[in-house]
Amino acid sequence: MQGAVRPSTWGLVSTIKADAPDILDFAAWHLERGAHRLLLYLDAPCPDALPHLKAHPRIRVIETDRAHWQKRRGGMPQKHQVRQSLNATRAYRRQSADLDWLIHLDVDEFLWSEDDLAATLATLPEQVLCARARPLEALADGSDGFKAPIPPGPEQDRIAAHLYPRFASYLRGGFVSHVQGKLFVRTGQNDVDFRIHNAFVGGVENPGQQELPQVDLCHLHAATWTTWLAHYRYRLAKGSYRAELKPAQSREAGGVTLHQLLSSLEAESGESGLRSFFDEICADSPDLRNRLTKEGLFRRRTLAKLQARQRQFPKFG
């Protein structure tokens, strides 16, 4: 009789600029999901969180100030996307010896699965070098509501217009954030370079990739109107709404980027223009939940973040 499959050890790497409660919520949630190691690169100082992170035996904290980057790279890369990729790649090469898998996550992304993640990863064949968790996007100002992306196919345009009649054509899969998800990468491979949503092994993108349909990446991209608005200006200039990103539809077909759309709404109507976009795409409501449910795209995921934080970091606050 064959023995039981040994659960895999997995960890995460994240480059973080956030307030202490958000950092500790993120860390605590993944510790309680079974993460063997958290490799947290602080992109800005957070003295309120730092001692609690350093005291936890399964967390390694790296403070990436200018002195850190001067020593590592001769200076700090200006784009945070570059810093994220460099930190994730360094963590994979230098700090993942006690892990079987490593995933790069942002502080507003929470892995969710009804099954044990370590056991799920352990069942993957050896030739699977990358495993992808696809995202759900949070409904803002709700406690447990998420939406799944609209799947590609002949019904995609109809579903999008039903759910988001004004702004559907500006979105990928009905999401204001990314639809790619994030990637677990098997450790022990040579010449690995992490990107935000992908990984290159020996110059090959995502070799031996497999989907993880039982694992959700719950993305709190727009948790509330207040937080979305607070992040809006940075995202428009340097983040996920920046001008250089491609539109959801080709430019030949009249596609317009989110940068162009949001800039236009703000120029024409100010904050109320942005709010009209937010209310249709992001805000939780019984009507949107009903429409999502009819299309098979509503998901209920309860993230008891505060309780996890209180258990893992009982001395905080």
Tokens of 109: 């992304």
Tokens of 292: 């999502």
How is the chain split into domains, by residue range?
A: 10-137+178-221+302-312
pLDDT tens, per residue, the chain with 317 residues: 345 566 799 999 999 999 999 999 999 999 999 999 999 999 999 999 999 999 999 999 999 999 999 999 999 999 999 999 999 999 999 988 999 999 999 999 999 999 999 999 999 999 999 999 999 999 998 779 999 999 999 999 999 999 999 999 999 999 999 999 999 999 999 999 999 999 999 999 999 999 999 999 999 999 999 999 999 999 999 999 999 999 998 888 878 999 999 999 999 999 999 999 999 999 999 999 999 999 999 999 999 999 999 999 999 98
Comparing CA positions, the residue from 183, 211, 212 lying closest to residue 198 is 183
Contact 59, 46 (CB under 8 A): no
Q: Which residue has the tokens 């759910």?
A: 163
Contact 211, 261 (CB under 8 A): no
CA distance 255 to 85: 29
Comparing CA positions, the residue from 151, 209, 218, 214 lying closest to residue 181 is 218
Side chain identity at 295, as an amino acid letter?
A: E
pTM for the model stands at 0.95
**∠85-184-219 over CA atoms, to 5°?**
75
The residues facing 38 across adjacent strands are 12, 59
How do residues 198-252 score in pLDDT, each as one tens digit? 999 999 999 999 999 999 999 999 999 999 999 999 999 999 999 999 999 888 8
Fold for the domain defined by 10-137+178-221+302-312? Spore Coat Polysaccharide Biosynthesis Protein SpsA; Chain A (3.90.550)
Comparing CA positions, the residue from 188, 185, 214 lying closest to residue 197 is 185
CA distance 266 to 100: 46
Report the half-sphere exposure of 126 (CA within 13 A, side-chain side): 2
Report the half-sphere exposure of 163 (CA within 13 A, side-chain side): 32
Tokens of 74: 């001769």
Residue 198: left if φ>0, alpha if ψ -120 to 50, beta else—which one?
A: beta
Question: Considering Cα of 266, then 268, then 269, then 273, what sign does the dihedral take?
Answer: negative
